[in-house]
Structure 1
Amino acid sequence: MDEEDITDNIFCPACSSLLTVPYIRCTECLQPDVYICLNCFAKGVEFKSHQNNHCYSLIRKDFPLFEDKWTAVDECNLLKAIEEFGYGNWKEISEHVKSKSTIECERHYDKYYIENPSDEMPGEVIVFSLSNSCSSFEDPPRPPEGSSIYNDMGGYCAARGDFTVEYDNYSESTICNIDISIKNTHFFDTVYFLLTELIYAAANIYNSSLKERDRRKKIVRDYGLISMSKVNSINKRYSKTIYQWLDGLRVYCTLFNPIEYDQLLESLHYEQELKNDIKKLKEYRQNGLTELRNIRLYKCMKKRREITKNRRHFLSDLINHVQDEEACISWLQKQAVANNRSTSILPLPQLQRRTPQPLDITSYPSFDKLSATEKEVCSYARLLPEAFMEFKRILIKESEKNNGILRLAHARSLIKIDVNKTRKIYDHLLNEGLVNKE
């Protein structure tokens, strides 16, 4: 690249950021030239006709043009400062160059631009050119026949470039015994024509088999599938993302060239990494983290919490429940059942059933229709007045059918509520003389 191609204020077409050296120039997109920043180049950004598999060059300005201590960046800054501030204002010029003093700027400009000017720029801005084209695979190993490596390579013979067992291995047997010395004088014309067509068909089948062999060998060679141990070692980098998909994706080798297939794997790998990062970010947000600087502390505390959780034992759990006597006894019973492997019953303290608090029924309908005794029964049995009166009516009506006799078991079958509540209603009716046991 010539001096006139060293321009400032070049923006990356992908992210619109101002390019700073070093940056990338595509050597295939020439009208117009495409310059890309290193960040977008690393991500494989594509736009318009530019593809991420194009050849490229690295543009930099950290090399000397005239002196070892003066880089191309210093030269550009010096010329730009002289154009802006004018010759002789060396103080302002040195401040613009930043890395050089006023004496150094004056001496360098006078020596190489006034006293000994050069017609052409001594050097090129492009220091080296790189290409991302796929390099050929290394020669496959040549293990002895019968060895384990030989079997892993599918019987590949490196010296001959083929396999011990080929695709459609017995295709030669279909044409090896064909006799082509057939004369028309021994057969009728129709039979001779049919035999000729049959020979041609067998030859075409054999040729198609040879073409399929070559196609398969080309795929194996281009994708480096001969030595599977080497392929597996390369694919280990996908162990945390798409490693379980590789066997299924291998069928796409017939649809893509080697570079496009590698790009497919890399894109899927990158997609899975993004999903994992998004999953982690969701976890951070759910735990109240809003700044990246807090993530390190969160990971440290989470690891410490997991270690502490693994070290927990029965005593620590018991201490958590010791303040509540009932919760402590309940926890002891659960642990005893979970850890008791014998059939014997362990003597454990039993939880006492708590007596429910009386229900305030003064604000409920039909409260005024109850007597003082009935109000007390409804309150302690936690029954609504209307429900109590309905249950009372059902039981009295049933007892009248049996000459005033009603048993407790029959009462429980009539009103299917809690048995304790049924017992309280039944005892109340007995005490009032509304029903009789016998």
Structure 2
Amino acid sequence: KAKNFFSCTSKMAELFAKYTCTNCQEDIPGIRVHCVVCADFELCLACFSAGAEIGQHRNDHAYQFMDSGILSIYRGKGGWSAREELHLLDAIEQYGFGNWEDISKHIETRTAEEAKDEYVTRFLQGTVGRHTWAPAIDQRPQLTDHTSDDTGPLSQLLIQKLPPMDCSNEEATALGYMPNRDDFEREYDPTAEQLVSTLSLSPDDEDVDMLLKLAQVDIYTRRLRERARRKRVVRDYQLVANFFRGNAKRARMSRDQREFRERLRTFSQFYTSMEFERLINSLERERGLRIRLSELNRYRWNGLQRMDECVHFEQHAAAAQHRNTGPYGHGRTLACIIGPNGQSMPGCIRQILTGQPKQRRLMRDKQGILGVVQLADSKKKRKRRPKLKFHRPKAHAPHRRPGLLRRLIQQQKLLG
């Protein structure tokens, strides 16, 4: 193999070498006559036809016609010479496929379009390409990528895994967003590159100069991280699409939900969009559970232990709307009650209270209507244990006394 390699190399050197006529000392641009008997003896066609003899050379010596690459390998008008074909292959190996401008400058006699057409026609789609590329592809070794994915703050994988922007071309143009490049016309912090644009290493740099340059590179890296982080947030939260369609989504939310999300919007930069939605839903669920827990504590404090008792309790509380129902005297009610499994039970009144109510004592008058009399702290002579509203035995509970329940229902109808 080494012998064949050096043989090919010597032939290439002979092809590109310049020859001069031994007799007239003129350059031989095309075909030359090589003397087989004399060593290193070349004649041009003019001297050979004149029968020139010089030194030990005689015109009856054996000779060979030699071509230095001026003849065309492929037939046709405007065909390339062998020298131009070799220049083309050498330029493609040096500059790479597709860099036709530099390839044409290397050939010197052909344009970029001619170089591209010649290579594609002859060496890719032609006879040479059909007989060389197929075996080369079959014998090509299979390469395995053993490098790990870059998961750092500047990794492109963090953005590529995110869903594409959901916006039309008109919306993207209005905001300066380029969907094909997944980038904006104006980068965040566009002056970040000025820190390192003038940096250069010199062998005369001292340690202080080197540390200063490293500090500038570190600052530049941090600014690039911030740029990549903002791109990730824009892509993850679909800010371009939400800029046009965000109001419709907010209109479906209640006022409390909008205010709650507005207070937590600052923390969205530390979460992905899915994680932030789960956080919001979890906090809203927690708030609902706290309200439900306060209601259950209120029922428990009033001596209720079953959910069916809560229904009658709320009916009784609705019949006495004129009395205070909380420690602050508010009587805010809602038109539903939450069941044991979290479902809403219509037809009842739910009162949301915080804290325990003041001490009250329930009394029944002669007509059986319940009233509330608040004990005055100034008139109390001794501290008594407060009685619960529905303390056992629950003889006064409407569901235990059908007659009382009928009277309460009639009274509610009269009150309207």
Relative to the length of structure 2, the TM-score reads: 0.29
Identify the structure with the greater helix proportion.
1
> Under a length normalisation based on structure 1, what TM-score does the superposition of the two structures give?
0.28
